[in-house]
Structure 1
Amino acid sequence: MTVSRAAIAAALAILPAAIASAQDQQLGARTKAMGGSYTAFEDDPVSVWLNPAGIATQADSASIAYQTYTTYPLHREKASGSDVVTTSAEAETTFVDPAFVPSYLGFVFHVGAPDSGMAIGICYARPYVLNYSFDEIEDPYLTTFQPDSNMEQSFSRFRAAFAKDIRLREAGEAGFLSHVAFGAGLDIGYERWEFRTATASASDNATGFGFGLGALLGVYDDGAAFRANLGLAYQSALKWDFNIDPDIYPVFDMPQQVNAGMTFYLLKGYPLRATLDFQWINWADTADTPFFAGQPEFENAFNVSFGAEYKIDAGGGVNLYPRLGYRRFDAPWDDKDDLPMTGPFKLLLDTKGEAFNLVTVGIGVSWASEQGQIRSVDIGADFGGDAPNVAFGMNYEF
């Protein structure tokens, strides 16, 4: 058995164990289509946010992406011939107002000589939008609840990042540990929230500072038909200095998260790419403690994802990339029939469960300019959650 075949066999052998503990955090159309796996990407400008180490060897490029989010707005209905108003909080698929603001906008700039392995990245990212309905509880012995209020909160970050790649082997040389890259980003975070009841509303915003760290290791490269990368990433939490105490209105801090994943480049010329990821999101520390003993709290989430894409030569310098993936998405609650509480507010929404098995699909189209610069358009979607979601975007080398 050759070294490359042995490496493939080893990768396949560890795949079930890796999936059992792996994860995702998705932002971008390509990422969504591949199950949310992204941590070991090294050829996508969205890495400025996802894992800044992944931009180290990229060319000058720009990326923009839009996506929908799952929300649980408060619905009020009056039955015909009755003055009784009933409320519900069913899941919806929606863009965030204003809809023209992207979920991701980023730029990568190569620094120094062509082989310097250095890059600077800047981006705007909006990974989380919360739209939850609540019941404000005054009686700790209450056993039935009805949603009477709604909170919408979005988390965004502006990031400036730097990455450096260090060659451990000559380019094209087969073997283990081909290169390692490190990246770091400094963030200015922004959150906006609005709280609404039938008779009143309140809104506010806050700014905070955070950071992100990443590493990307070339685990093995046979120079022809197999390459494996390992990626690690960390995004810091943002603790907002709220002008209104969370005991008064239900608002959240931005969670810290840890990602680990692998990307495998397979077959001659690497047309097949497979990814798997693990993600831990620290939702437990973002919400206020429940006012009443015995009420459940928000929990940390552990997500698993894997995906694949295959490059198809469509002729005329155009390539197609059909994509497929899976994501085991963990909601930040333990029981869909007894949702968590933050301060005096009981979360109430119509959800299908505590964890979801999402199927993801998508396709990308890429082409090259006369100067060899790559441009691509991507679309992705996921199904199986409380509501389906879609994403689309474009990458542009310049």
Structure 2
Amino acid sequence: MKKIVVLHANNTYNYGSFMMLINFIHYLYLMSNMEVSFLVELDSNDDLKRLKKELKNNIIVERFKITKKSKGNSLISKVKNLKIRIINHVNDILFSNLSALTILGGDDLSEYYSKWEIIVELNKIHRLSKKVPVFLVGQTIGPFHFWRENLAKIYLKNAHIYLRDSLCAEYLEKKLKLNDFFLSSDLAFLHLSNQTEDSSFYRQYNLKSNDYIILVPSGSFMQYTNKKEIYVSSWVEIVHQILNNPKLRNKKIVLLAHVLKPQEVDDRLIINDIRSLLSEKELQRIVVINEELLPSEARDIIGNGLFTITGRMHAAISSFQMSKPAISLSYSVKYEGIIGKDLDMKDLIVCARGNNHWESGNVVKETLVKISFILNHYEMLTNKIEKNVGRLKELSITQINDIYAKI
């Protein structure tokens, strides 16, 4: 039996990355005729329990305990952590008796989150890819800037790269001069292993199918603007406009948290701020879903709504996967590549990165334009979504087939 080590899957309270992990394990297991086991980098035993709840009972999954980084921000702690990441983590992986190493996407290999520190991760990939097969799965890679672009060219050349959008493919070809990659799509477009057509989990919240709109305000507001008050007030204005829209007079609004950890980017923080600014009358049509869910449960809630407005991309993917429109507030190229170009839903993307978009009121204005577009073209959109998602599902599963052939 082959052992697959899976990295960048730590946090099952980020439903997006959790969905990708579930589908990678589920579909590779089916493809391999049950001849693989998985050692997964997870933050806790609780995360392992949550993963097992979303997988078939006979899949062998264990927690990969990698050397923990030191706490603290002192210079000594930073130097020690650099050593742990460069030396200890590589040794932890090589000593695990693995058949292959998988590093899951989506956009960890970009500078949106870790800035220049991404080079440490790329260096680790470079060194490991000389020793074992390394698969970068479901990735949006880059963009990189300045001297880091040249290093990325070198560090990625030996890895098996599986991209999730065609814009990223253009970037690798033109900027990094890399041509040896596999163009696929986001793993979350596939059915989750616990996803069923007749699920009715959403009814636990006294919701009726197509009778509510889902809002997913991202707790990572700094990706959009450093003006938190304007960010929150913009979401509140969107709520007001939906509640007062004659075409949505009897609809409820669901405020859904899609990322619950780490604490500093918990969507519930923003949801609580929004709720505190609504009147008692307005709150009568608001349903807040703040509790810890599994991705299959979150998808059931999203997919049975009328449409979604979201700052979390995988909430949009769940909506599309269930053939429902989603308006995405975009802060990175992944939205343009996956949703705009490959899914052909650019009309549902709102450019939202930067203070000017929020201070000018353009985010709210553009979102309201998109809402009107959805309501006026709903049937056309749902038919188009169903067709295009079907194509991306087929594309997504091809990466699993190719990985299995190489491990």
Per the TM superposition, whether the score is higher than 0.5 is no
Q: Larger relative CO (CA 8 A, sep 6+): 1 or 2?
A: 1
Q: Which entry has the higher C-alpha Rg, 1 or 2?
A: 1
TM-score by length of 2: 0.24
TM-score by length of 1: 0.25
Task: Say which structure is richer in helix.
Answer: 2
Task: Say which structure is richer in strand.
Answer: 1
